[in-house]
Amino acid sequence: MDEEMEVNENVKKVMFVMRKAPHGSIYSYEGLETVLITAAYEQDMTMVFVGDGVFALVKGQDTTDIGIKGFIKTYGALEHYDVEKIYVDRVSMEERGLTPDDFAIDVEVKEAEEIAALMEEQHATIPY
């Protein structure tokens, strides 16, 4: 564990769990908005993509034909907000025929057990 984080009691671990595909509902989009706002509070943030949530990260999305504003580019801004812990559940990814090369940003692929262990460490877990 990062020692600096450990001594600063004001910094809380907050995990955002992204569960939905990007355009079928607004959960993914409004969830991302929350991540960006919370980043301004300089907390120890983690994003985890599970289930259909992994589709949100697929590169080359073109929403022109469905008439919905796309937001895949916003994920590229996360590193500028110091949101660097971005994890994808391996089984969710593989079940949907995806590999890390399909994603628009660099992610770390993790096992469900690892994600569960991370959840245990969090001050708060926010599901979207």
Partner 1 sequence: MKFAVQVLEAPYNNQASDTAYHFIKAALDKGHTIVRVFFYHNGVVNANNSAEPPNDDRNIYKRWTELGKEKGIDIVACIAASKRRGIKEGQIVEGTRISGLGQLADMTIEADRLITFG
Instruction: Summarize as ranges the residues that interact with partner 1 (CB under 8 A).
Output: 12, 14, 26-27, 30, 33-34, 37-38, 40-41, 43, 123-127
CB of 127: closest distance to partner 1 in angstroms?
Answer: 6
Nearest 5°: the CA angle 56, 44, 6 is 150
Q: Pick between residue 16 and residue 103 the one whose CB is nearest to partner 1.
A: 16
CB of 102: closest distance to partner 1 in angstroms?
Answer: 27
- Dihedral angle of Cα 111, 117, 119, 121, to the nearest 10 degrees: -150
CB of 9: closest distance to partner 1 in angstroms?
Answer: 11
Q: Pick between residue 82 and residue 95 the one whose CB is nearest to partner 1.
A: 82
Q: Pick between residue 61 and residue 125 the one whose CB is nearest to partner 1.
A: 125
Q: Please tell me the distance from the alpha carbon of residue 62 to that of residue 53, in angstroms, as a whole number.
A: 17
Q: Pick between residue 8 and residue 94 the one whose CB is nearest to partner 1.
A: 8
CB of 106: closest distance to partner 1 in angstroms?
Answer: 25
Q: Please tell me the distance from the alpha carbon of residue 32 to that of residue 109, in angstroms, as a whole number.
A: 19
Q: Which of 38, 27, 128 is nearest to 81 (CA)?
A: 38
